[in-house]
Structure formats: C-alpha cells, structure tokens
Amino acid sequence: MKILSVNAGSSSLKFQMYEMPEEKVLISGVFERIGIHESFYTIKINGEAIRKEKDLPNHKVAFQYLVEELEENHVVERLDEIKGIGHRVVQGGSYFDKSVVVTEDVIKKIEELNVLAPLHNPAAITGIKAAQEVIPNAVQTVVFDTAFHQTMPEENYIYAVPYEWYTDYKVRRYGAHGTSHMYVANRMNQILGREDTKLITCHIGNGASVSAVVNGKCLDTSMGLTPNAGLIMGSRCGDIDATVVTYMMNQLGISAQEMDNILNKKSGLLGVSNVSSDMRDIDAGILEGNERCELVKKMFIRRVIDYIAKYYVEMGGCDAIVFTAGIGEKSVTTRRRIVDGLKILGINLDEKANGIRGVEGKITTDDSKIPCYVIPTDEEVMIARDTLALIP
C-alpha cells in the first residue's frame, strides 16, 4: 500500500512515499528555503539525489512540484495508487490529542488554530487542500506535533497569568515538534538499550525546540502556546520580556497583527543579522566578518545551552543529549559551540566524530559523562505509521 507523508515546515516541505507496512521508501525529497531567495528542492530515488533550482514562493507551489516528481519518476502510474496521505500539523490545541482522518470539521478546527502556529498550520492546510484536489481518492490524515507533549505536568504547561485564561481560552503551553522529539527519543532508547532514560532532545532547524523526555514521555518542552517561544529561530524571537510587545506597539503605533507578524517573520536570526533566517547564510556572514551574524550566532548558542542546562536540573541528570533537524544534523560549528558550552557537565566533544552531517552517530568522547548523538529525525515514517492505522 502506497502512503505519502507530507511534512510542511515554516520554510521547508519534506515528503516520503512509502510502501507500507514494509516501510520501504520509494521516493523522498525536501523543498528548502520556501519563501526565501535561492530556493530549491532535492529528490532522492533509486539511490540517486537530484537537485533542482526552482522558485518556491509558497508551499502550494512546492506541493505541485512534488506531484509532478511522483508522476515523472513513475513512482505511481496513477494517482489513485496512493491510498493515504499523512500531513504533519503543528498545533492541535485542545481539540486533538491523537492523529485523525481529515474532514471538513477537522480542517475548520485547524484553521481556528492558525493564530497559535501562524507559520505552520496555514502551510499544512495548503498542503491538505492541494492533496485533496489532485488525489481525491486517498485517505487524508493529520498527525499533530502537540500530541507528544500532553504528558507534561500542570506546573510545566500552565502559565502564571489569570487562571481563567486557561479555563476559558485554553492558554497554556502546548509545545511543537512532538513527532520529531518522540522519534529521536525512541531511537535513542534503542541505542542505549533501555527505556528508563532521561533524555534532552534538541530539534534545531529554522524552527527549533528542546524537550526533556523521561522514560519515553515528555516532561517539559521549550515551545509554548505557539511555536514562538523558547529558542531563537530563523525568523521567530523565542523567549522575550512580554512587556516588549506592548511597549513597541505603542512606540511604533502598530496593531496586534502587525506585531505578531514582526515577532514571527521578522525576528530571530533574520531580525538581528538583517541578512537571512537561514543558519547557512549566517555562518557564511561570519566567515565574511559580519559582526551581527556572529552576534546572533552567539545568542542562538546561548539559548540552546540555557535550555539544556535547565532540563538537566529539572530531570535530575541526563543519560544522553540528541541533536536533530536541519541545523542539529548538519551544522558542525553549531554543535561544536553548544557542546563546548556544556563542558561544566563533563561533556567532551570528539572533533572527528562531530564532522558528520545528516547521519547518525555519537559526537562526544567515550569519557564524557553525558554522550551526545546526532540522530536524523524521521517524522515522515511516524506520519506513515499513523496514516496506515487510520485507513479502513
């Protein structure tokens, strides 16, 4: 049975076509720098990777190219061979605590939650609607990133604001990237050969979050009501003094929507550097002597270290730290600077081992008190598994 997993990020679109239940990958690809200059996508089929430079102004255009590639590479002769399409959705709010089949009511509820995930939920809806148009006979499902974080205790998800905001408006910490954190935590437990573990999982990409995972369940996570909390990200500010929002609204004379747009789309790496929201561009700027690129890199590293230290204390120790997602898997310099900042915990980087990009491996020395690993995330296979389970 052919199942397509679609994972729309804030500036990316990953996909994999599986033969299920064997979990055999037939074709995979990733569209990168969506909405950013010099966008492109890479297709991998039969062991060969093909890169194509294309203008990708939004996720809908990316999905159209995806369908073209499936047909042109003869992965399917007819689109109705695809029995299921699973979509990653960041925010399920209080409506969803598990994966579900797409209905009009489900789409409506996801749209209602756009305000909580302004860069992701609209992108996912675009993918869902495009898939419904071109592959109408497939069962469409949605897998929510918030589901994994539902095991957090109240003291970790309730905010210190009037309690009625929680009861009446569902204001609380929901987290995101749950599908990724769950996958790498499960894989880390396999590597360690045990389930009774204390893990810190670092999903570091254009969007980024850190989670504390105890015995396979989420204890705490850095993202909040929306994905714009915790770490500094590509275009999101992450944690800031809440009064900055009202202060600058008054100073600039702007609306709440305009401020939301600034904090989500014009802040983070982009806002400080004024160069790009992409860490690869920031690193290039550092090599060219751009002081603001170096500044925001330091800020980014500091915030990751802060959260790792916080969760180390909260869990009362740590059995392993995992780096995943685009920056975590591929940025050698970023990992080096994070691990170097954790030496107080008895962690020592293995420079040679840290040279890996996009493959699994341990990057610390054998005498490190806490081993650090790179584990490429596989949200797509998690999505495919849930989709298969939901097909009648």
Q: Closest by alpha carbon to 206, among 293, 299, 298, 278? A: 278
Of 105, 145, 168, 239, which one is the catalytic site residue? 145
From the CB of residue 228, how many other CB atoms can be counted at a distance below 10 Å?
26
* Per-residue buried b or exposed e for 294-311, using 16+ beta carbons within 10 Å of the residue's own CB: bebbeebbebbbbbbeeb
Q: Is 145 a catalytic site residue?
A: yes
* Per-residue buried b or exposed e for 33-66, using 16+ beta carbons within 10 Å of the residue's own CB: bbbbeebebebebeeeeeeeeeebeebebbbebb
- Could you tell me which residues come within 8 angstroms of residue 13 by beta carbon, excluding any fewer than 6 positions away? 6, 7, 30, 31, 34, 41, 59, 62, 63, 66, 123, 127
166-171: long-range contacts (C-beta < 8 A, 24 or more apart)?
Answer: 170/93, 170/94, 171/225
Question: What residues are annotated to the active site?
Answer: 145
